[in-house]
Every structure is written in C-alpha cells, then in structure tokens.
Amino acid sequence: MTFGGKASLLASRFSALWRSQSDTFAPFGKTFSLQQMQRLKTSVRDLVVKSMDPGDREQTGEMLKQFSDSGDEFVHEARKFDPDLKPEEIFQTLRNVWIINSMQVALGLPVRLNRSGLAYSLLYPYTDNCLDAPAASEREKKGFNRDLARRLAGFTVPAPSQHTAKVFHLVEMIESEYPRRSFPGVYESLLAIHRAQENTLQQRDSGQCCAPSAILRISVEKGGSSVLADAYVAKGWPTPQEADFAFGYGVFLQFIDDLQDVGEDVRSGSRTLFTIAAGEGALDGMANRLVRFTKKVLASSDLLSLPRAAALSELVRRSCCSLILESIALNSGMYSSAYVEAVEQHSAVRFDCIRRLHREVGAKQTRLRRVFKGRRPAHLAAACA
C-alpha cells in the first residue's frame, strides 16, 4: 500500500474513533482539595513530578530534564540559524521539539535534538505562519506552496526570495541526515503535512462553508500527519504500529489546539469542530468527548507499556487534561455554569487563579523579548522563572 493510502486509512480510522466517543461527563482524573493544592510546589517541574503516581516520578523527572535540555539546545540553534526569528515564533516551534522528544521516548530512542528534528520544527514559522500572513497575496501563497511541494518531492527549485531560501535550507538539513533514496517515507510524510496545511485554508475562509464531516477530516489529517512526520524525522522509518500511534497522538493534540483557540476562531470566522459546536450551544459535550478520545488513543497502543513510555503516557494524559481544563477556565462562558463548577474540582489550580496567571503572561512575554533582543545566552528555566 502506498504512503497516501496508509495515511488515508489512518485518517478514516481516527475520524471514526472521534465520532464513537460519548459526550457524557468524562473521567478527567482525581479531584483536588484545597489542602492538597496548597502542598503542591511552585516549581513547574516539581509540580508535575509530584502529581504523578510514586512509581512514575523518577522516570518522569528524568524525562522532563531531558526535554528541558533538548529545548535549551533548540533555542540556541534556532537563534543561530536565524537571529531575526521572533521569540514567540521560537517558542511556538519549541512545542514541536518536545513532541519529537516524546516520540523518541515512545519509540525507545535517546531523547535528543537531532538535525532533522531541528529543521522540521523550524519549518513551522516559515510555512504555517506564511499561510496565515494577511500581507501575503493569494498568488504569493500559492506560489510558495507550489515551490515547497516540488522541493519536498526532491526537485531542484530556484528560491525566489530569502524567505524561500531559508525554507529550502531546512529541507537540505533533513536530507543530510536522511538521504532520500534510503528514507523515502520521511519526505512522503513531509508532503502529507504540507498538503494538510493547504487544506486548512478551507477552514479559514469564512465565505466557504464546509460540512462538519469535511472539517473533521481536515482536522484529523492535519493533526495526524504533523506528528506522523515527527515520528519519521525522529526515527527515519517507523513501524506501522509506531506510525499508527503517532497519527493518533497528533489528532488529539490538534483537537486540543482547536479547543484552546475556540474563542479566537469564533471571532475570526474560522470553522473548526469546536466553533461549529459553539454556535449550537454549550461545549460541555465536546470537551467530554475530547477527554475520552485522548485517553482511548493513549490506551490503545502497546508502545506505551514499557516503564519509560508508561510514564510518558501518564504525563501526556495529565498534561492534556490540564490543557482542556485551562481552556474551559479561560472560555467559561462557552460552557454551562454547572459543568464549569463540576470540572473545576478536577483541576489542581482553581480557575480564577488560571485566569489571573493568564493575564500575567503578557508581562512574562515582554521579559522574554528583552532576553532575546539582547541576544544574551539564557537557560529556558531562567528566562521563564
């Protein structure tokens, strides 16, 4: 079966899995009393580690340290590659580095920043953000997409701009680690996410009404193919089982992204599963379905049975539930008051505190911009403390 055929089957499978999930109240996890919350440490890493089951704490602590070291190296290399990258662009791509690191754990590989992982992560601000840029004309966007597709397919393509030249150089970095003849799947996966990104333009065109089934397919393909590419740049040639897990992992991360962005997407007219549901009523059922879907994907893979990967599975599950709870806290008006009150009991941090911390993020971002503008080497933990 061709790569495209396999990707299509995965998209159909996870679309069906999403539809099969109940929208009744979801098992977010244990509840937290005020006394328990007061005992949690202020350090983010300590908070995460201490919230894990005792048997997973040592593995989780070591894993988070490795992720942090990989992130520090990425920030250094990203700024060396392009000093003009904005801090928010670097931190946007940092998340993908950590997803690659988590795939390395799931695939039994050492946690590290490999050359292809650096390049693939840096492609985001040059490609995805280019599609969002209001200053670029549709002709320019289509020309860039056409040139990039040909370059990803292995053709020699002249770069018409400095921006495109940087993108092509990132592709060359991947080719230096994974020769095309030996690792064709790497480039097929990159072409798959490129096509999926183009398809998301349908969601952003308020004048084009896509049916919910089409929106579901678009979202599944974009999320799944994104992390499937992470698996390929992490390993070069993942097994079918590994590709299956990576695709599902990407789907629920995409859904969580869409839930977090629901307020902004409603205002901009972007159509996602969650903006469609918000137009019809409260989002209680959609949040429940997302929790169930995430747990189902994580529980369905044998890759997460080994001790190190089992700790990853629990960390991802808890982190995703926390992100969903945070989204509910920040968009509480889109949920019923009874639902908000019920799910808050499953949050380690009270919702009013989450809202206050969110308001303080602006000041933190200003601090990070000063650190980057001064071009002083800074450890991520120091910059974010």
| Residues 6+ away with beta carbon under 8 Å from 178 | 116, 186, 233, 236
Give the residue among 150, 98, 153 at the shortest CA–CA distance from 121. Answer: 98
Q: Are 119 and 171 in contact (CB under 8 A)?
A: yes
pLDDT of residue 263: 92
Confidence band, pLDDT 50/70/90 cuts, at residue 310: confident
Highest averaged pLDDT of the listed ranges 24-28, 197-201, 258-262, 305-309: 258-262
- Residue 64 is part of which domain span? 3-384
pLDDT of residue 191: 94
Tally the domains of the chain: 1
Question: From residue 230, how far is each of 97, 120, 147, 222, 349 by CA, in Å?
Answer: 9, 8, 22, 13, 31
Q: pLDDT tens digit string along 145-169?
A: 899 999 999 999 999 888 899 999 9
Cβ atoms within 10 Å of 127's Cβ, excluding its own = 17
Confidence band, pLDDT 50/70/90 cuts, at residue 378: very low
Q: pLDDT tens digit string along 102-125?
A: 999 989 899 999 999 999 999 988
Give the residue among 142, 127, 265, 143 at the shortest CA–CA distance from 204. Answer: 265
Q: Are 125 and 132 in contact (CB under 8 A)?
A: no
Q: Are 277 and 141 in contact (CB under 8 A)?
A: no
Q: pLDDT tens digit string along 330-364?
A: 999 999 999 999 999 888 788 888 888 887 765 55
pLDDT of residue 53: 55
Q: Are 382 and 74 in contact (CB under 8 A)?
A: no
Helical H segments across 115-183, by residue range: 115-132, 138-152, 162-177
Q: What is the pLDDT of the chain when averaged over all its residues?
A: 82
Give the residue among 36, 98, 22, 45 at the shortest CA–CA distance from 67. Answer: 98
Q: Which residue has the higher pLDDT, 305 or 270?
A: 270
Residue with tokens 């590290």: 112
Give the residue among 119, 117, 125 at the shortest CA–CA distance from 151. Answer: 119
CATH number of residue 48's parent domain: 1.10.600.10
